[in-house]
Every structure is written in C-alpha cells, then in structure tokens.
C-alpha cells in the first residue's frame, strides 16, 4: 500500500521510531516504578515461581485446562457438525440463541438450577457441558461456511462422474471444505481454550482456578496471575502459530 520510502520519509520514520521508543520506554518505566514503589518487584515475591513445586501445581492445572478443552472440543465439534448438516429451523434458532447468550449464564443454570431438579453433574462436566453447548453453535457456523465455500461445480462434477450424492460429499466436497476450515477451526479452538478459564467460577481446578488457590495461599496475587497469563499466552500463541502455518501451507497445496 505504501511506496518505498524516499529520503524524507526515511528521516520521518527515524524520528517517529525515536519518539515512540521514548514513549514506550517511559510507559514501561512508569509501570516498573509503580510496581517497585509497592514492593511488587521484590525478588522474594517472585522467587516462588522459580521453584518446581509451584510449577508442578500450575502444570497440573494446565493439564486440567487441556483436558476440559479437549472434551469440550470433541463434544462441540460433533454438535456443530450435527447442527450444520441438519439445517432445520430448530438448528438455526439454536445457533442464533447461543451466539448471543453468555456461557456464564448457562454455567449458572448448571450450577444453581439443575441440581434442584436432580441433575447434579461432577464439576468437570458442569464446566464442559455449558461450554460445549455454546461452542457447538460457533463450530456449526464454521462448518457451514466451509462447505458453502466449496464451488458448487465441484459437487456437480462429482455427480456427473457417476458418484452418488454421498460419495461426492465425502470424496470431493469435504476434503476441500476441511482445507478451507482448518485455520478457523484452530483459532476457534483457541477461543475455547480461553473459555475454560470459567473453571474459576465453577471451582474446577483448571489453570486459572489453580492460580486463585495458590494466590489465596501465598498472597502473591500479582505475581501469580501474571505467571498464569504468561502460561495462557504461551499455549495459545503456539496454537495461533499452528493456525497461521496451516493457513499458509494449505493455501500453497491448494494451487
């Protein structure tokens, strides 16, 4: 979109770079001073997170997060596929409603309403079921768009080669659809992994709730939650990177 910079633009770039480095530096310095003034940078407050028992506890929490995410992902994808292929009015209404009702509301129903009607699931499922109900609608949208993005001629070509409807779907349309969908499926899964943090509300000891338990015990609130944020960041960045890699490599093989 931009022309290669001439001498004047290069000079301007240098000036803006210098100014923005100063601004960013000043902001960081301000934050560091605020933390330091309140003793939050005291090494004693950070050292616990250099020890193995702390990390072991957090990694157990991370494992629970991954477990919940995998269970939710499997259920939600199956549900999403079902919603996408039935295309009935009920399925469409379900997708619309779930796109606008917060998961937390469903979780509260799960936690405080259903037990009095005799449905009292284990904590793990109290987190997973609402998440799956909600994310199924999101996956359905991705599946539908993925199949719709495959040119109609592809299916027709399959049929004209003598394939049955089902064969054309399985051998021609779906492989191309999956290729289209792979990146958005992965990035949707990042969203799902982030939503498992609602385990905090359910008291299911995934990563964030583990952090809360730790913070209540060692009173290192800022340190604990920053460490937790960094762990989420690392895991999700890896997933996002995978999504970007899929996007690029699939775009190449599709040619």
Partner 1 sequence: MSLLAEGFLSTVALTLLSFAGAFSLGVCVVVLRVVPVPVLRAVGTAYVETFQNVPLLVWLVLFVFGLPEAGITFPLFWTAALVISLYEAAYVAEALRSGVNSVARGQGEAARALGLTTAQSLRHVVVPQALRRVVQPVANIAIALTMATSLAGAVGVVELTRAANRINLDLAQPVLVFAGAGLCYLGLAAGIGALAGLVERRVAH
Residues forming contacts to partner 1 in the complex (CB under 8 A) are 1-3, 5, 9, 13, 16-17, 20-21, 24, 34-35, 37-38, 40, 97, 99-105, 108-109, 112-113, 116, 190, 194-195, 197-198, 200-201, 208, 211-212, 215, 221-222, 225-226, 228-229, 232-233, 236-237, 240
Q: What share of the chain is helix, strand, coil (3-state, %, to 5)?
A: 85, 0, 15
Closer residue to partner 1, CB minimum distance, 158 or 211: 211
Closer residue to partner 1, CB minimum distance, 113 or 171: 113
What per-residue string of b and e applies to 7-37 under the rule 16 or more CB within 10 Å gives b? Answer: eeeeeeeeeeeeeeeeeeeeeeeeeeeeeee
Distance CA 80, CA 181 (A): 13
Give the DSSP per-residue string, 45-72: HHGGGGSHHHHHHHHHHHHHHHHHHHHH
Closer residue to partner 1, CB minimum distance, 173 or 197: 197
Distance CA 171, CA 146 (A): 15
Closer residue to partner 1, CB minimum distance, 8 or 166: 8
Q: How far is the CB of 203 from partner 1 (least distance, A)?
A: 12
Q: How far is the CB of 212 from partner 1 (least distance, A)?
A: 7
Closer residue to partner 1, CB minimum distance, 30 or 78: 30
According to DSSP, residue 150 is labeled: S
* Contact call for residues 70 and 63 (beta carbons, < 8 A): no
Give the DSSP per-residue string, 227-238: HHHHHHHHHHHH
Q: How far is the CB of 169 from partner 1 (least distance, A)?
A: 29
Distance CA 169, CA 165 (A): 6
* Contact call for residues 76 and 135 (beta carbons, < 8 A): yes
Q: How far is the CB of 108 from partner 1 (least distance, A)?
A: 5
Closer residue to partner 1, CB minimum distance, 21 or 78: 21
Closer residue to partner 1, CB minimum distance, 64 or 172: 64
* Size of the chain in residues: 255
Q: How far is the CB of 20 from partner 1 (least distance, A)?
A: 5
Q: How far is the CB of 176 from partner 1 (least distance, A)?
A: 22
Sign, Cα dihedral of 199, 200, 204, 206: positive
Q: How far is the CB of 168 from partner 1 (least distance, A)?
A: 31
Alpha carbons within 13 angstroms on the beta-carbon side of residue 196 total 29
């Amino acid at each position: 979109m931009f022309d290669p910079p001439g001498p004047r633009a290069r000079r301007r770039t240098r000036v803006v770079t210098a100014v923005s480095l100063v601004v960013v530096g000043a902001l960081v310095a301000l934050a560091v001073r605020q933390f330091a003034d309140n003793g939050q940078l005291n090494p004693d407050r950070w050292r616990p997170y250099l020890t193995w028992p702390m990390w072991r506890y957090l990694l157990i929490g991370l494992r629970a997060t991954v477990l919940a995410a995998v269970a939710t992902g499997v259920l939600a994808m199956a549900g999403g596929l079902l919603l996408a292929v039935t295309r009935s009015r009920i399925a469409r209404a379900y997708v619309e409603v779930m796109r606008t009702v917060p998961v937390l509301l469903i979780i509260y129903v799960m936690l405080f309403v259903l037990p009095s009607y005799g449905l009292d699931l284990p904590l793990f499922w109290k987190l997973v079921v609402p998440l799956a109900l909600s994310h199924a609608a999101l996956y359905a949208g991705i599946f539908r768009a993925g199949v719709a993005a495959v040119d109609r001629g592809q299916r027709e070509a399959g049929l004209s080669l003598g394939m049955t409807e089902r064969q054309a779907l399985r051998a021609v349309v779906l492989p191309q659809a999956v290729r289209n969908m792979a990146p958005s499926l992965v990035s949707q899964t990042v969203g799902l992994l982030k939503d498992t943090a609602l385990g905090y509300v359910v008291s299911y000891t995934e990563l964030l709730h583990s952090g809360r338990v730790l913070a209540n015990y060692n009173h290192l609130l800022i340190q604990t939650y920053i460490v937790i944020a960094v762990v989420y960041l690392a895991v999700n960045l890896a997933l996002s990177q995978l999504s970007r890699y899929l996007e690029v490599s699939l775009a190449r093989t599709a040619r």
